[in-house]
Amino acid sequence: MTTETQATAAASGAGATARFRENKHVGGGTSQARVSALAGRLIKAVNDIVTDELVSYDEYNALKAWLISVGETGEWPLFLDVWVEHSVEEVANANRHGSKGTIEGPYYLPGAPVQHSPATLPMRDEEPGTPLLFQGHVKSVAGEPLAGAQIELWHADDLGFYSQFAPGLPEWNLRGTVIADDQGNFQINTIQPAPYQIPTDGACGALIAAAGWHAWRPAHIHLKVSAAGHRLITTQLYFEGDEHVADDIASAVKPDLVLAPTGRADGQGREVTYDFILDRTTEALDRIGRSR
């Protein structure tokens, strides 16, 4: 057993909760009218389910106990990012041109070591897994290359664990910030991640087991791609042939985001090309007078 297999829901939940508190500068929130409208609808939806489904006191108390345990184990970021974030992302990006986005999930960390393309993500000597050369270019919706675009990427290792959220991994393992060249080209060497199973030993895992669902996300690479004057995109890329591409617990797969790597001619693992097309910022759009 490696140390990584000792990862627990409580540890990754606590890490994700701490990370959220540090990095998400939750601003002024929203207006009183919006709070009243949104909280009112949520409460009504729950009451409607109780009435329609004739929910019993046993079921109500099971819900209460479960909600308490989600908070105690710090699993709210995991719960929300698996079951809610996908629709928030759809709404946020409905007006975006260019590449598709998808959920960020709970394990992003800003400040991964910066390298210029061609780059190799920080990894252990003999990092397990199939080597993967991920390459492409970053361009605008008008097709212009975006020189010096920044590609932040993070992904799980060959056992499905993320550095800084599972024990025993070097700090920045399989996390990096890569600067594209003056043609917007990037080449990144990494390993192909494994499918990820959300922790099964905590409150989210208990729900999944009680409902008879599965806990899997397809293997994925997380990305944030940005360039001056353009809207940062948060996305993920998946791999053709992965059984969970059609059955992601987090509902975050989109057809455009599924890669089909091929074997490299030199036999050294696989390679795949994917181009990022970034939309302009609203400020840039205002300047050129394109309306939304």
Provide the binding-site residues for ligand DHB, judged by CB under 6 A: 78, 81-82, 105-107, 196, 198, 217, 250
Residue closest to Fe ion, measured at CB: 105
Closest distance between Fe ion and the C-beta of residue 220, in Å? Answer: 6
Q: Which region among 20-28, 103-111, 168-176, 179-187 touches Fe ion (by CB under 5 A)?
A: 103-111
Which of Fe ion, ligand DHB, none does residue 155 bind to, with CB < 5 to 8 Å depending on kind?
Answer: none
Q: Comparing C-alpha atoms, which of 122, 258, 105 is closest to residue 190?
A: 122
Residue nearest ligand DHB, CB atom distance: 105
DSSP 41-86: HHHHHHHHHHHHHT--HHHHHHHHHHHHHHHHTT-HHHHHHHHTHH
Closer of 179 and 207 to ligand DHB (Cβ): 207
Q: Is 16 helix (H, G, I), strand (E, B) or coil?
A: helix
Distance CA 199, CA 104 (A): 17
Query: Cis link prior to 118 (omega < 30° from 0)?
Result: yes
> In the beta sheet, which residues pair with residue 178?
115, 151
Nearest CA to 153 among 104, 194, 216, 197? 104
* Least gap, CB of 282 to Fe ion (angstroms): 28
Cβ at position 176, least distance to ligand DHB in Å: 17
Q: How far is the CB of 250 from ligand DHB (least distance, A)?
A: 5
Nearest to 103 by CA among 132, 74, 73, 83: 83
Q: Which is nearer to Fe ion, 137 or 217 (CB)?
A: 217
Which residue in the set 105, 129, 160, 199 belongs to the binding site for Fe ion (CB under 5 A)? 105
Residues 6+ apart with CB under 8 A from 121: 153, 174, 175, 176, 188, 189, 190
Decide whether 48 or 171 has the Cβ nearer to ligand DHB. Answer: 171
Tokens at residue 1, please? 């057993």
DSSP letter for 110, please: S
The site partner of 78 among Fe ion, ligand DHB, none (C-beta below 5 to 8 Å per kind) is ligand DHB
Stretch that binds Fe ion, among 87-95, 105-113, 224-232, 258-266 (CB under 5 A): 105-113
Q: Give the contact letters, 63-102, x = binds to Fe ion (CB under 5 A), - = no.
A: ----------------------------------------
Fill in the DSSP letter of residue 254.
-
Q: Which is nearer to ligand DHB, 98 or 105 (CB)?
A: 105
**Which residues are near Fe ion by CB under 5 A?**
105
